[in-house]
């Protein structure tokens, strides 16, 4: 199968991953487009016979994290969980519901917890596969995952 | 016995081996609070999936699908009508070289060492020539100042490679002992951060490379073999 055809088959899931990572739907689709473009430029680096989806997830995640870091450097725009709360509830309950409480809550997680939750819980990767995509040890993955999930439970429990 | 939160979560996710799972089940039987926590993990997982799954069902943005579609159909077209493409190509190369070289001092601040003129043609030299001759796309340092992209054969059976050096990108092909610069692109985004949009110079470079390409770009093993054989 041509590289493009195989990639096309993975697009819907990659797009879901982008939506779980990015701060808005528009950012998520920009991230998807940028990832596909980079994949076409760097297709020579993918080894046929290995999983294209894992390669794509890694590529997208790295692109996203570069952007997060660049933004954090530029201005401390990264909203701390506490600040995120007040942003979401300052007269904006209706809005928060429309955006989806859950998507909203994901966006308050620190990046390293968000990517772990997105890969394992939403994308359904085994712990071992997720750790490989993120290039971190299993123990680091499980501790980020458990912290991210507990934060989400607390946040969503409060909202209920 | 105590079960740490990671183990309990792994149990909820079905990640434990049977023996470890049995141990957790025994602990759960003795402590209802653990059972509640397992349920909370599973409920959260189900709501997260329910929240994001609609994205999978929705149609992929047209721009992305178009980009892939264009990329996929360029290769067979180029091989079918390589001769015609090529004559068209040479004109385009000449035009772009003029633009590229006049803009040279702007594109290469503080470094004019990457290119030289020979017989009226631009060739790579210095670090760019070295990268083109030796660097493997599959094994580049993340901070390499010159990055090689795809490697392929063109209609004249020459080896060609795309490269990026700072804000400049280009396509170079082997001509005798040199890498001749076929095309240059300014305003290529650097490594970090900014997303590349369709229609960007990087996308144009890729489209052009695919138009020159006969067959598929090389994979990691073929790239290494071609380099080790001295690009013959």
Could you write out the DSSP letters of every residue in A48-112? BTB-HHHHHHHHHHHHHHHHHHHHHHHS--PPPHHHHHHHHHSS-HHHHHHH-HHHHHHHTS-HH
Distance linking the first and last C-alpha atoms of chain B = 68
Rounded distance, CA A66 to CA B196, Å?
A: 13
CB pairs under 8 A between A and B: 149
So where are chain B's domains?
5-57, 62-228
- Measured between beta carbons, which residues in chain A are less than 8 angstroms from residue B12? none
- Measured between beta carbons, which residues in chain B are less than 8 angstroms from residue A16? 52-53, 55-56
So where are chain A's domains?
1-78, 82-160
- In tens digits, what is the pLDDT along chain B, a chain of 232 residues? 689 999 999 999 999 999 999 999 999 999 999 999 999 999 999 999 999 988 988 888 888 988 888 877 654 333 333 333 343 444 445 555 544 444 433 344 334 467 777 766 778 888 888 899 999 988 888 778 888 989 999 888 889 999 888 777 889 999 888 898 888 777 775 443 344 455 577 777 888 888 888 888 888 889 999 999 999 8
**CB contact (8 A) between residue B68 and residue A2:** no
**CB contact (8 A) between residue A42 and residue B15:** no
- CATH class for the region spanning A82-160: mainly alpha
CATH number for region A1-78: 1.10.1740.10
- pTM for the model: 0.57
**CB contact (8 A) between residue B71 and residue A41:** no
Of A2, A32, A44, the CB nearest to B149: A44
pLDDT tens per residue, range A93-132: 333 333 588 888 999 999 999 999 999 999 999 999 999 9
Inter-CA distances, B122 with A108, B100, B125, B151, B223, Å? 52, 10, 10, 19, 24
- For B137, the closest chain A residue by CA position comes to A45
Of the candidates A81, A63, A55, the one whose C-alpha atom is nearest the C-alpha of residue A21 is: A63
Quote the ipTM score. 0.83
pLDDT tens per residue, range B44-103: 999 999 999 889 888 888 889 888 888 776 543 333 333 333 434 444 455 555 444 444
Residue B149's Cβ-side half-sphere holds a number of Cα atoms within 13 Å equal to 28
Residues contacting residue A50 through CB under 8 Å, at least 6 positions apart: none
Whether the Cβ atoms of residue A122 and residue A16 lie closer than 8 Å to each other: yes
Q: Helices (H), strands (E): how many in chain A?
A: 9, 0
Rounded distance, CA A116 to CA A148, Å?
A: 8
Ramachandran area for residue A117 (φ above 0: left; ψ -120 to 50: alpha; else beta): alpha
- Measured between beta carbons, which residues in chain A are less than 8 angstroms from residue B200? 37
């Amino acid at each position: 199968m041509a590289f493009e055809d195989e990639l096309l088959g993975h697009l819907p899931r990659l797009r879901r991953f982008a939506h779980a990572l990015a701060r808005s739907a528009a950012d998520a689709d920009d991230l998807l487009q940028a990832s596909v473009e980079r994949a076409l430029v760097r297709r020579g680096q993918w080894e046929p016979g290995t999983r294209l989806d894992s390669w794509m997830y890694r590529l997208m995640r790295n692109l996203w994290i570069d952007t997060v870091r660049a933004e954090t450097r530029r201005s401390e725009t990264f909203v701390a969980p506490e600040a995120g709360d007040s942003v979401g509830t300052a007269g904006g309950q209706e809005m928060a519901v429309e955006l989806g409480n859950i998507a909203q809550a994901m966006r308050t997680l620190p990046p390293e917890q968000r990517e772990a939750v997105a890969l394992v819980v939403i994308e359904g990767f085994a712990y071992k596969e997720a750790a490989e995509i993120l290039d971190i040890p299993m123990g680091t993955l499980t501790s980020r995952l458990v912290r991210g999930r507990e934060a989400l439970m607390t946040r969503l429990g409060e909202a209920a | 016995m105590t079960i740490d939160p990671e183990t309990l979560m792994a149990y909820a996710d079905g990640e434990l081996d049977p023996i470890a799972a049995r141990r957790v089940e025994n602990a759960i039987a003795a402590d209802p609070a653990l059972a509640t926590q397992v349920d909370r993990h599973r409920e959260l997982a189900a709501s997260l999936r329910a929240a994001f799954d609609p994205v999978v069902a929705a149609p992929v943005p047209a721009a992305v699908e178009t980009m892939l579609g264009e990329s996929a159909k360029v290769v067979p077209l180029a091989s079918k009508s390589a001769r015609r493409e090529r004559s068209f190509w040479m004109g385009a190369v000449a035009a772009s070289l003029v633009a590229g070289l006049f803009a040279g001092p702007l594109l290469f601040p503080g470094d004019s060492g990457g290119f030289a003129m020979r017989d009226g043609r631009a060739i790579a030299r210095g670090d760019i020539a070295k990268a083109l001759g030796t660097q493997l796309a599959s094994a580049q340092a993340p901070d390499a100042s010159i990055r090689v992209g795809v490697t392929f054969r063109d209609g004249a059976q020459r080896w060609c490679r795309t490269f990026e050096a700072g804000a400049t990108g280009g396509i170079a092909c082997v001509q005798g002992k040199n890498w001749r610069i076929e095309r240059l692109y300014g305003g290529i985004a650097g490594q970090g951060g900014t997303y590349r949009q369709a229609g960007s110079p990087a996308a144009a470079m890729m489209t052009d490379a695919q138009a020159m390409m006969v067959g598929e770009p090389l994979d990691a093993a073929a790239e290494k073999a071609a380099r080790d054989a001295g690009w013959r």
